[in-house]
Amino acid sequence: MGEENGLKDQIACNTRISSIIDDDLSYAGYNISELMDNNASFEEVIYLLWNLHLPTQIELKHFVDELRANYAISDAVEQCILIQSRRHLHPMSVLRSTVSLLGVYNINAEDNSVEATYEQSIQLMAKMPTIIATFARLRMGLTPVEPREDLGFAANFLYMLNGEEPTPLQVTALNKALVLHADHELNASTFAARVTASTLTDIYSCVTTAIGTLKGPLHGGANEKVFDMLREIREHGNTEVYLKEKLDSQEKIMGFGHRVYKTQDPREKYLREMAQQLTQGTEDEVWFNLSCEIEAYMKNTKGLIPNVDFYSATVYHVLGIDSSIFTLIFAMSRVSGWIAHIQEQQKNNKLIRPRSHYIGQLNLEYIPIGKR
């Protein structure tokens, strides 16, 4: 039965947004390698996922202008983030609550017309980086940095996060990471978003559902665990001994294997390249070298391949992103795919209502409480 293995290989819907066929990932018909090798911008990819075709120059300029005009968040939303910036709160819980709050402050949140849904989509997409950068800085006791409308999506986020304009290599690295994480067929959070959308609720509820799903450690959070592992190995000083101890005690090594891919994760090689370029000749090169050692050991002893989370941990760390918010960066990218799936579900909707297979007892006799 499908439920015994998490509905593995069960088809739940038709989609034109993304596909995984023979270990190849495509967005609306474009293989991920086609987009990466031609340096497609994240903004182009968002447009592609939402419209199922790449934009012309005029279309892209209009789309980018719309996003940039909506970067800023209100003082009320910033105050809400400040209240939630205490260390003990889970960053994904803060993101979940803040996105939900955006729906409270949008007076058109209950309007599900095509025009209103598009406006809400732009607002959600544009404000995610500002919410995340604001939270990250407030959590560290730093003053939030206002977004700059003259900077693209990736550059603006790094500027707001670190307080200085990023280098071209840094922008390229984050742009590639965002493109690679933008969508991934019917993963858990995307499926949750589509189920929610099928009830004809508002887009904020759908994205909040997706964030709550991504928060779970079996879906998001793997790259955070990868960097924790890198840090521990650096402290211990011996990769082989560390990994052998973990494997002998039946602990999972994060960043390896995938539910869908069998021979390779097509996204991993691009993040490996960016990790190498970002660290080459710097003191951060130790993280890349450790990653290579771990990859070699896992391949030789377990035959396991690294997935998208493995090298993204080093990329994010070198970009000045604290490991505690790695999953927020995942969400900042994946919201583009969530929105695409929400819109697709709404256009040809049917309530998603599967059945369960009952395996409990039957025909029990009621015994009055005095005789139990």
Domains of the chain, each with CATH number or no CATH: 32-216+326-347 (1.10.580.10), 222-318 (1.10.230.10)
Tens digits of residue pLDDT in 20-36: 888 789 999 999 999 99
Mean pLDDT over all residues of the chain? 92
**Confidence at residue 216, expressed as pLDDT on a 0 to 100 scale:** 87
Q: What is the DSSP string of 170-235?
A: HHHHHHHHHHHHS--SS-HHHHHHHHHHTTT--HHHHHHHHHHHHTSTTTS-HHHHHHHHHHHHHH
pLDDT bin (cut points 50, 70, 90) of residue 280 is very high
Q: Active site residue: 184, 258, 317, 341, which one?
A: 258
Please check whether residue 206 is in contact with residue 193, taking contact to mean a CB–CB distance below 8 angstroms. Answer: yes
The token duo for 15 is 């989609």
Distance CA 1, CA 368 (A): 37
pLDDT bin (cut points 50, 70, 90) of residue 263 is low
**Confidence at residue 262, expressed as pLDDT on a 0 to 100 scale:** 64
**Confidence at residue 50, expressed as pLDDT on a 0 to 100 scale:** 98
Amino acid 307 reads N
Amino acid 284 reads D
Q: Active site residue: 183, 202, 309, 317, which one?
A: 309
Instruction: State how far the alpha carbon of 304 is from the alpha carbons of 163, 185, 225, 243, in Å.
Output: 39, 22, 17, 13
Distance CA 309, CA 122 (A): 27
Tens digits of residue pLDDT in 174-206: 999 999 999 999 999 999 999 999 999 999 999
- Is the pLDDT at 261 greater than 70? The verdict is no
Residue 313 three-state SS: helix
Distance CA 10, CA 2 (A): 7
Per-residue pLDDT, averaged over 336-358, amounts to: 94
Least confident interval from 17-26, 86-95, 111-120, 253-262: 253-262
| pTM listed for this prediction | 0.93
21, containing H or E segment: strand 18-21
Assess whether 258 carries a catalytic annotation: yes
262 versus 256: the higher-pLDDT residue is: 256
Residue 331 contacts by C-beta under 8 Å, 6 or more apart in sequence?
Answer: 92, 95, 128, 132, 211, 214, 220
Please check whether residue 222 is in contact with residue 309, taking contact to mean a CB–CB distance below 8 angstroms. Answer: yes
Most confident of 5-14, 153-162, 345-354: 153-162
Per-residue pLDDT, averaged over 69-97, amounts to: 90
Residues listed for the chain = 372
Per-residue pLDDT, averaged over 59-78, amounts to: 96
- Is the pLDDT at 209 greater than 70? The verdict is yes
Assess whether 309 carries a catalytic annotation: yes
**3-state SS string for 245-273:** HHHHCCCCCCCECCCCCCCCCCCHHHHHH
Per-residue pLDDT, averaged over 278-303, amounts to: 93
**Confidence at residue 258, expressed as pLDDT on a 0 to 100 scale:** 61
Distance CA 17, CA 29 (A): 8
